[in-house]
Structure 1
């Protein structure tokens, strides 16, 4: 070290900042655990341990498993809160495809295998969290202390669809935008349940087609049908979960 230099002053984090970091770490560890073990099967002690804390840290930040799951739902719903969320946007295709083996910019064979495995792991996590969400819904719907919290999270999805419906509202439409939004949310959740049930043709492409037909049926009827092999899902999307896996696996 240069004898004329001085060490950088250590920045002390506030109590609120430390608590936020703890909550974030527990939330991300819980997402992984719920996706892997299900809502009922996940252990708060194991979640705390995966995040590097004792079980007491969970109860210092959350009221219990249900409140922790609600925090994970909030994390998954973040993308819906911004005005730039577009439920009609298609997955990248054509010229945006990744370079293939032998093409300039293509990854080496080992890197390709790792990327495919990472995508498969992320897709499995998305599916696992969807199943855990179904478990939570059936539990919360029977619990008077949780039903309002569950309704509030569902409203986030409806509000996002209402913004999308209002932006694409065709002339002469007399069905209120909030009613259209509820129909869109119902289609979204129904497609998700079908996909989780193993219906191979239920995916993002079919959902986008259905959403467009709900919002503007006259114009959407002239569009080509969706590709039946496009079965990607969202909330949270696979790319986002891949980044999460990468971030949480680093020391």
Structure 2
């Protein structure tokens, strides 16, 4: 027997907390895919669990139901796509993050990413109309809207004109309203506003009339397709099918 033969390093066993977090993240990713495809009302918890590789019981072990799972997907999107370095005024592809390599499974599938963007926007509208009529969900909805407004207020503060008369939170509300209005126009199919025109409109709200008016044809909604593609990559986790 070779006494110099090395014993393989023992693989560290995941703690119960780590397993639970991985399961939760897998369900959030599956929720994003299923809500985008089937809508908020059309998506089923059974199919979401199956997509993630778990039983329906795993959903209820991590979330109180469909609404709580959808809120978790919203939270993940907000934290991933609207972080501290988010700048909706920057041209698409102008930052290092925008140039990050895309995962092989979605890098060449722009149609899939665009469908995901559109589908989740529609599901979010469904959820908002439902939550706004449910006194138990209104507080949670307001928290997420506040998070969105806070992200815009950071942008407004960074780009605020010296002679701007409106308060930062007022500018943030107008910027968010413009973005959401553009989304509704696009989702309805009535009209389409490309990304450069949307950025130009936001600059005008900030009192900046010097923004790019050439308006190259980047037509994706906010969040951009590239951001959603990265979201898919960032949220993918290794799941334990035995859980």
Is the alpha carbon distance of 1:146 and 1:52 closer, same or farther for their aligned partners in structure 2, counting shifts above 3 Å?
same
Q: Give, in angstroms, the shift of residue 249 of structure 1.
A: 11
Unaligned 5+ runs, structure 1: 99-110
Q: What do you get for the CA RMSD once the two structures are aligned?
A: 2.6
CA distance in 1, matches of 2:93, 2:202: 19
2:124 to 133, 144, 147: 133
Partner of 1:73: 74
CA distance in 1, matches of 2:127, 2:203: 30
Q: Which has the higher contact order (CA 8 A, sep 6+)?
A: 2
Q: Does the 8 Å CA contact 2:37/2:116 hold for their aligned counterparts?
A: yes
Is the alpha carbon distance of 1:78 and 1:149 closer, same or farther for their aligned partners in structure 2, counting shifts above 3 Å?
same
Alignment of 1:132-211 (within 5 A): 132-211=123-202
Partner of 1:242: 229
Q: Secondary structure at the match of 1:40?
A: helix
Unaligned 5+ runs, structure 2: none
TM-score by length of 1: 0.82
CA distance in 2, matches of 1:7, 1:224: 59
Q: Does the 8 Å CA contact 2:31/2:69 hold for their aligned counterparts?
A: yes
Q: Does the 8 Å CA contact 2:161/2:206 hold for their aligned counterparts?
A: yes
Q: Give, in angstroms, the shift of residue 81 of structure 1.
A: 5.0
Partner of 2:56: 55
Q: Secondary structure at the match of 2:221?
A: coil
CA distance in 2, matches of 1:45, 1:35: 16
Partner of 2:27: 26
